Structure 1
């Protein structure tokens, strides 16, 4: 009597988990990009630093962030397992088959693209997430005139800062915050990191062009009525617009800011 494999340990089950975690990560990319667009605001980082505090202290978002970290790890581990399994099942390399020409480059190199993205994520987390959470970024105080909307700022010393604080008095809103905006500006003066971010966004583009559509096929949502719009979103939204949006940030700080 044959025994069926548990769904999560079968090849199909792993592909399903990868698809679901991949789609969750795609939704995060949209939200993250929208929030990070505040880096372009001409307000000395006021909106972005308030956004950074909200994203790291609002309880529901903190829960979602742990799901995000878990999804990244699970997605990467399952991708590695599937890659190893596929190589064992296909000892002869692709270039010995005539079918190579019918297979897109990004679909054959998802492992390489994923590895580039893992290096990027680790670098990104070290430069921003780790330093922000471990009090390794500067401090800043904003004074906003509630009547005119004018914002002025001054750098705070460590002795002047205890925690994020907003007070209002005589039509003036005073905000003390960790200055992640300045950390972003400082980081993107490093040409090596700017190049890494831009290269990573090229990798993200190719990864998503294949992965987005593949995820919908895996979960069974590939009816011919919808496949056109899924392909359009995968290519033009996740393969073009989102990577360009993220790549624009380091380029803006290095060349313009």
Structure 2
């Protein structure tokens, strides 16, 4: 039986990982914009953030996007694991296998960074998504589930804030390599505008890392002090 070129070129593991990775990059922007409401004054932040949470949980379009998100997370993680295992088992080394001279340390350790992020996601989903969906969550003044209170209580512990910030830096390094790699995999990395892709990827990674890191630090300091 002949193989199908379309499946080989378009739905290969690397292409799937690139597509899911770029979708997750887009989701991170939306997620960060929503979480930035936590930087508002407390009386405004609670109502705004809880209303935002209700919008996300009750909108059919958002629900569809959430299913795409779950698929992307699972597919990206499994695909990365399969590719990593196959690369380690490969007997033929890449031409650039002396990578310490040609690549950054985070490019050589994407598997480790990805594993750390996966562990963080499990904790993150347990503490926020699972509690919001299935836990006994108190209601705010408007009768909405008070996700804001859950977030504030979570960031009351300095060690949790530290874990969150360190995970965001792991995410940032993961993005530094992942964004450029995804663009190259999909054939969009042309020498004419490669510098623009690198610059955008760098600033995107820095913005996501700092944006998500500031939030738990700000919440902890403003609500619980040093």
Answer yes or no: same fold by TM over 0.5.
yes
Q: CA deviation at 1:222?
A: 0.9
Q: CA deviation at 1:226?
A: 2.3
Q: Which has the larger radius of gyration?
A: 1
Structure 2 SS opposite 1:140: coil
Q: CA deviation at 1:100?
A: 2.5
Equivalent pair of 2:106/2:177 in contact (CA under 8 Å):
yes
List runs of 5+ in structure 1 lacking aligned partners: 142-174
Name the CA distance, whole Å, in 2 between partners of 1:217 and 1:91: 22
Structure 2 SS opposite 1:35: helix
Give the total of aligned pairs.
220
Q: Which residue number corresponds to residue 198 of structure 2?
A: 231
Q: Which residue number corresponds to residue 80 of structure 2?
A: 79
Does 2:210 match 1:244? Answer: yes
Aligned-residue CA RMSD (Å): 2.3
CA shift digits 1:40-65 (9 cap, x unpaired): 11115110000011011100000100
Q: 1:10 to 1:228 in 2, by over 3 A?
A: closer
List runs of 5+ in structure 2 lacking aligned partners: none
Q: 1:102 to 1:40 in 2, by over 3 A?
A: same
Equivalent pair of 1:8/1:14 in contact (CA under 8 Å):
no
Looking at secondary structure, tell me which structure has more helix per residue. 2
Does 2:133 match 1:133? Answer: yes
Q: 1:9 to 1:188 in 2, by over 3 A?
A: farther
Q: CA deviation at 1:191?
A: 2.1
Structure 2 SS opposite 1:212: helix
CA shift digits 1:58-110 (9 cap, x unpaired): 00000100110110000000000000000001488xxxx64422122111100
Name the CA distance, whole Å, in 2 between partners of 1:24 and 1:245: 19
Name the CA distance, whole Å, in 1 between partners of 2:85 and 2:4: 18
> Structure 1 stretches (4+) deviating beyond 6 angstroms?
9-12
Equivalent pair of 2:17/2:79 in contact (CA under 8 Å):
yes
- The TM-score normalised by the length of structure 1 is 0.79
Structure 2 SS opposite 1:49: helix
Structure 1 SS opposite 2:187: coil
After superposition, where does 1:53-202 map in structure 2 within 5 Å? 53-90=54-91, 98-141=98-141, 175-202=142-169
